Amino acid sequence: MGEDTPSSDQSELQCHDWGRHEKVVRVLNGEVGWLSCPLFSHPTLYNYSSTHSSGLSLVWYHLPPEHDVEQPIKYSQRVSKDRERLWLQPANRNDTGQYICMLRNRTSCTKISMSLEVMPLKQSGCPLVAMAPTPVEIPFQQGKELSCPDLQDVTKMADNSPSVTWYHNCDQHPFWDNERVKKGENLMVYQMGELFKGQYFCLVRYTRKNQTLNFTRSLNVSAVSPTSLPKMPIILIPNKDRRFTVRLGAEVTLECQAKFPYVQLAPPLKIWWSVDGIPWNPQTHLRFSQTDIVRLKEDHGEVTVKRGLVVKEVQKEDLSREFNCSVWNPKGNSTRRAQLHKEAYLPTVELGCGVGVTLLVMLTLFVVYHIFWLEMLLLYRSWFGTDERYTDEKEFDVYISYVRDGEEEQFAVSTLREVLENHLGYSVCIFDRDSLPGGTITDETLSFVGRSRRLLVVVSPGFASKGSQALLELKAGLDHMALGGPLRVILVQYRALRRQAWVGELRRARVLLALLRWKGDKSKELTSSFWKRLRLELPLQRAERTDSELATPRTLQSQTSTSSQVALLGGGVHRVQYSGGML
């Protein structure tokens, strides 16, 4: 009985079972694949030539999914055995499952199992690969010849020389440049550049027993730094110009950054901290801890990393300690000391309190100004303002202009006149009260306006239809202002007006002049904003009048022979003739 057929009593042997091999073999459906018995992965234990000469036979079994008993493999043109390998030329979906390779003779038996996964083909622009790509590193600006993995393994199984088709990121050879040329079955990269990085695929085709077979492999090509460059690691931080500022009693992290040039087959990166010449040890350096290595940048195989040393509760003696960062690779080593510097004292509490007090004062002033800005303006005006009575030759402080009809007339001759004369002490001129009978209205109006320091115009909806006298007064005041005279015009709105009620003169005056709005009951009190704003617009009075002067309105001295007195009785206007002065 040959080695390809197991004996009938193999189930009676007590085999030494090595369990299941951790590696899973994957192959695409329809491509060539093979299994290598894991027992021969340790040549010191098992060697195929020595075991075969000692009478041990290699037998393969297959345990399909959802089966409990493994079955001996029936060899054929598609499934064959060559030394320690089981070939599938090609593999199909039924080949998926667990495989057992057994070394046995009549008295001993050793076996191990492994898994095979047959993956389905999918339509894609790139070749499909079941196995992981093979990493290949090429120095920048240097060349290397790429060979297809496992190509030599199928050469002895093929009836002719295999053909290889190369792809780079889904582009089939020939490529767009002359720096990469196919050389036999291999691909020659003459000068490595950034554009040549990426994944390469090689599709192998060969003929066996009049059957065309194929398999695909991939390579992951990366560019590394040239071998001619210095390879010693370089410490970037700390350097001679870098000092770590620390605060006593606080926690600080000292950072070390280093660049490791590319070194082929180099061991893991080595970067560490030492305190007073002793490498950091968690058992001896209780107040210090070393952080993990962090990769910051990788470029052409060069790696920039950092590692920190945490100092808990910095003490005064730590300022004189030696904190050294060291790096090492097979080409050399380097060490750099971290310079500690005590942080200068900043009076943060004092500065914070000062800034807080300043902000509080500014906020208080802003609130005070926002609430009492009228009072502040009046106070400033009383201190630094100029009394116009001593600088001009005007007779009246205020001339009140109004439309002779309705509530505005009552408001003007009663409320405004009463407060201005009796409470605020201003000399007020009202045409209907202070004009002489028989005079020309136009001339006297212009005369009164010219002899007044302020023209107080009560805006009324009747300006357009009933305000001929008021319009004349307004125009006279505007003309005086236009000519640069000392007269100023003040607009008082007793009630809201529609846009159509603003005649041309009022519309122009509203843009340039102050407009005070009467707000009903809110404005009746003398402490309301209406009267305060009005006082700001009126002339400044430094000397207070006597009680007798405040109780009696100011009269024209030249009008003692004959005059007309306007008295408001029941809302009507009456002229009362008397001799000896005005009432």
How many residues are there in the chain? 583
Task: Tell me the C-alpha distance between 109 and 14, whole Å.
Answer: 7
For residue 113, which of 105, 101, 103 has the smallest C-alpha distance? 101
Phi/psi of residue 294, each to 5°?
-120, 125
d(CA 339, CA 320): 9
Residue 363: CB atoms within 10 A of its CB come to 10
Q: How far apart are CA 42 and CA 486, in angstroms?
A: 116
Rounded CA-CA distance 448/434 in Å is 9
Give the count of beta carbons closer than 10 Å to the beta carbon of residue 320: 8
User: Given the DSSP bridges, would you call strands 79-82 and 71-72 parallel, antiparallel or unpaired?
Assistant: unpaired
State the Cα–Cα distance between residues 318 and 248, nearest whole angstrom. Answer: 9
- Here the tokens at position 291 are 């952080």
Contact residues for 406 (Cβ-Cβ < 8 A; gap 6+): 460, 462
> What are the φ and ψ backbone dihedral angles of 221, each rounded to 5 degrees?
-95, 130
CA distance 269 to 257: 12
Tell me, yes or no, if 70 is annotated catalytic.
Answer: no
- Among 473, 525, 544, 549, the active-site one is 473
Question: In this structure, is the dihedral angle defined by the CA atoms of residues 545, 550, 552 and 553, taken in order, positive or negative?
Answer: positive
In whole angstroms, what is the distance from residue 51 CA to residue 75 CA? 21
Give 512-520 contacts, CB < 8 A, sequence gap 24+: 513/489, 514/490, 515/459, 515/491, 516/490, 516/491, 516/492, 517/492, 517/493, 518/411, 518/492, 518/493, 518/494
Give yes or no for a contact between 316 and 333, defined as CB atoms under 8 angstroms apart.
no
Any idea what DSSP says for residue 149? T
Spatial separation of the C-alpha atoms in residues 308 and 306, rounded to whole Å: 7
Catalytic residue numbers read: 473
